Chain A
Amino acid sequence: MAYLDHAATTPMLPEAIAAMTAQLAVTGNASSLHAAGRRARRTVEESRETLADALGARPSEVVLTSGGTEADNLAVKGLYWARRDADPRRTRVLASPVEHHAVLDAVDWLAEHEGATVDYLPVDSYGRVHPDALREALVRNPDDVALVTVMWANNEIGTIMPIRELAEVASEFGVPMHSDAVQAFGQLEVDFARSGLAAMTVSAHKIGGPFGIGALLLGRDQSPVPVLHGGGQERHVRSGTLDVPAVAAFAVAGRHAADGRENFARSIGALRDELAGAVLKAVPDALLGGDPAPGGRLPANAHFTFPGCEGDSLLLLLDAQGIECSTGSACTAGIAQPSHVLLATGTDPALARGTLRFSLGHTSTGQDVEELARAIGPAVERARTAGLS
């Protein structure tokens, strides 16, 4: 068995499981005023402080959500509404075309239902947005831009964006910028204060925490219009009873991700290089997706295009041998479409059907890589005979 899909989700850390199960047995709504409520609230606030510390933010800047998707929606829609309310001319959204669907579809929704105009920022063949491209888009008319949103690192091909430089350009024009850092947290130095961002998304289950919990890091001067209305929790920006056990486990995983980041990035990067080398040795005409420079991509990500293969075929063949990975393509109703990320980087649509993403994590070993190295060559050969249907 070789689990090579940690970017989809990674196993929970034992410490996080312990923290979560301990809290599951404790009664208390963090909004209640009695002792049980205060105890729950204390756990939440201590966890918030831990997360803030791990992410270079103030505790008040940590807005807990149900996960990355909700945080992305809150940032994109909430900031759009708030900025447009303040000045009705602000209806332009600047977004990278390689965003996760949680951002992309939220932006498209604004265009369809809220009168937004979306300018997709150009990307290079690695899927990277350059600060000059952002500047150019802003200069065109700085007064009509509601927000900028560019992910910290791409979830499919692993390309890292120059977030600090981009945020600097945005702030020059007084435009708030959001970044989806779901894949970056735990692998790259993600420091909210130093980033210059107005908002940033993180998720627990990508770093060894539980499903169903994430956060939007939100600058204190930002007041997005809420998506969820209710009891006024989380700065009145995100109502809903807090999931205390999940919050506690998220904090444990967040602490671990920040403290262990450098070591993890170094060791996992070396293993990734081994994996990439093994794949290219077995399949010399495979194409590495994203930035080939180790400093330009997520250390745990390896993305390949296998010419003449259907990604679905490869996935089935590897899955049958216990090797679990992803085609890395967007999946709508179970129907594989060529990835919008690859299409944005200028990849030929036929080639874009034959991709696999291998992503490593804290349980990955050299044996996982060896298993893949043995299986990938014959699998590609077989998938090629099946061709492109």
Chain B
Amino acid sequence: MTQTSQRPLRVLAAMSGGVDSAVAAARAAEAGHDVTGVHLALSANPQSFRTGARGCCTIEDSRDARRAADVIGIPFYVWDLAERFREDVVDDFVAEYEAGRTPNPCLRCNEKIKFAALLDKALALGFDAVCTGHYATVVLNEDGTREMHRASDMAKDQSYVLGVLDEKQLAHAMFPLGDTLTTKDEIRAEAERRGLAVAKKPDSHDICFIADGDTQGFLAGRLGGPAEGDILDESGSKVGTHEGVFGFTIGQRKGLRIGHPAPDGKPRYVLDISPVNNTVTVGPVEALDVTALTAIKPRWCGTAPSGPGTYTAQLRAHGGETEVTAELVDGTLTVTFAEPVRGVAPGQAVVLYDGTRVVGSATIATTVRKERAVASG
């Protein structure tokens, strides 16, 4: 198994303006590839300069990416994919919340933008691959097939948000940071050594298209003003009032603003969100225990598994691994947990692994609680 092909490739490096993608582009260029940098303009109305860099959509981020490309010595362009991003990521994000689910827009962006819209355009223009600063490893087998594995450093691994990529997309993906066994500080030191000014730039986090981090406010703006509704306990009794179901996440504990404590004095968690009834159901932590789930829209990296199999599963970004058995029946994936797990939110992805290898990914549709089945929405 070899890491990457030795043949020099024409590589399009997606440069967000952050330190990871800058170092990735620099490594690709250093490896002898013919690299061109592209910053994706994903917002139709880019925020101007902000000091606390939160995402990748500001004019300052675009400038940072350009400066990194200058230093690496590669051509650089800004491509406007705002329309595609709005349709495929932002609108999907809003629709998912509207349906009471908890979407992962980064994953959707990788699936629909970086390794679809951008990759398609890159290939058409004569490039061989798209390079990003993700932490994941692509392995080329001797038979020519490709596998995606977790990054060498499990703490930085981002294979979860790349789990939606199929083998065809993987064949044109390059992740120069994937085999990095160094800390983020060392990546920053490498950036510094390479003269990249983004070395000291804070990490991006939160959702890039929600500039102020106020997801609830963003959703209220899109879905009409917040509609006040009831917070119920498991028996259906009203225990509080919410200002709109959008933005709640299964397993959420903070921000419920329930005036009085539960009879047992224990903290309460969001168990269920019902946009149709405009209610949020809360209950004790035990009620979050999920024994199984079903997931739809599976995407396989390689051939789809036949029959039930034993895997490890990851259920959210930065989440841990859990032992499961999984089976695909009529396009629906059923995942059964060896031990109950908590905080499983419909809309999130379940990514299956065989050891470090990504097997595939699907969108969680329903969860089976210890006592009862809860359908999403």
Interfacial residues, chain A to chain B (CB-CB below 8 A): 312-313, 315-317, 319-320, 333-336, 382-383, 385-387, 389
User: A385 contacts which of B62, B117, B124 (Cβ < 8 Å)?
Assistant: B124
Closest to B57 in A: A333
CB neighbours (8 Å) of A386 from chain B are 120-121, 124-125
CB neighbours (8 Å) of B125 from chain A are 313, 316-317, 382-383, 386
Q: How far does the Cβ of A331 sit from chain B's closest Cβ, in whole Å?
A: 8
Interfacial residues, chain B to chain A (CB-CB below 8 A): 36, 39, 41, 44, 46, 59, 62, 75, 77-82, 84, 117, 120-121, 124-126
CB neighbours (8 Å) of A336 from chain B are 78, 80
CB neighbours (8 Å) of B62 from chain A are 333-334
Asked if residues A312 and B79 are in contact (CB atoms below 8 Å), the reply is yes
18 inter-chain pairs at a CB distance below 8 angstroms, sorted by A residue, are: A312-B77, A312-B79, A316-B75, A316-B77, A319-B75, A320-B36, A333-B41, A333-B46, A333-B59, A334-B78, A336-B78, A382-B124, A382-B125, A382-B126, A387-B121, A387-B124, A389-B84, A389-B117
Q: How far does the Cβ of A338 sit from chain B's closest Cβ, in whole Å?
A: 11
CB neighbours (8 Å) of B39 from chain A are 334
Closest to A320 in B: B75
CB neighbours (8 Å) of B75 from chain A are 316, 319-320
The A contact surface, by secondary structure, is helix
CB neighbours (8 Å) of A312 from chain B are 77, 79-80
Alpha-carbon gap, A312 to B118, bound state (A):
13
Closest to B80 in A: A335
Closest to A317 in B: B125
Residue of A315, A316, A335 with most chain B CB atoms under a 10 A cut-off: A335
Q: How far does the Cβ of A34 sit from chain B's closest Cβ, in whole Å?
A: 44
The 7 closest A-B pairs by CB, nearest first: A334-B78, A386-B124, A335-B41, A385-B124, A335-B80, A333-B59, A333-B46
CB neighbours (8 Å) of A335 from chain B are 41, 44, 46, 78, 80, 82
Q: How far does the Cβ of B77 sit from chain A's closest Cβ, in whole Å?
A: 6
Known: A333-B62, A389-B84. A313 touches B41 (CB 8 A): no
Alpha-carbon gap, A385 to B127, bound state (A):
13
Residue of B39, B41, B80, B84 with most chain A CB atoms under a 10 A cut-off: B80
Alpha-carbon gap, A336 to B36, bound state (A):
18
Alpha-carbon gap, A319 to B75, bound state (A):
9
User: B41 contacts which of A317, A334, A382 (Cβ < 8 Å)?
Assistant: A334
* 8 additional A-B residue pairs with CB within 8 Å, beyond A335-B44, A335-B82: A313-B121, A333-B41, A333-B62, A334-B62, A335-B78, A336-B80, A383-B125, A389-B121
Q: How far does the Cβ of B87 sit from chain A's closest Cβ, in whole Å?
A: 11
Alpha-carbon gap, A335 to B120, bound state (A):
20
Residue of B41, B75, B82, B125 with most chain A CB atoms under a 10 A cut-off: B125
CB neighbours (8 Å) of B79 from chain A are 312, 389
Q: How far does the Cβ of A354 sit from chain B's closest Cβ, in whole Å?
A: 14
Residue of A317, A383, A386 with most chain B CB atoms under a 10 A cut-off: A386
Alpha-carbon gap, A316 to B41, bound state (A):
16
Alpha-carbon gap, A284 to B303, bound state (A):
46
Q: How far does the Cβ of B58 sit from chain A's closest Cβ, in whole Å?
A: 9
CB neighbours (8 Å) of A333 from chain B are 41, 46, 59, 62
Alpha-carbon gap, A333 to B84, bound state (A):
18
Alpha-carbon gap, A98 to B79, bound state (A):
24
Alpha-carbon gap, A313 to B121, bound state (A):
9
Q: How far does the Cβ of B36 sit from chain A's closest Cβ, in whole Å?
A: 7
Alpha-carbon gap, A316 to B76, bound state (A):
9
CB neighbours (8 Å) of B44 from chain A are 335
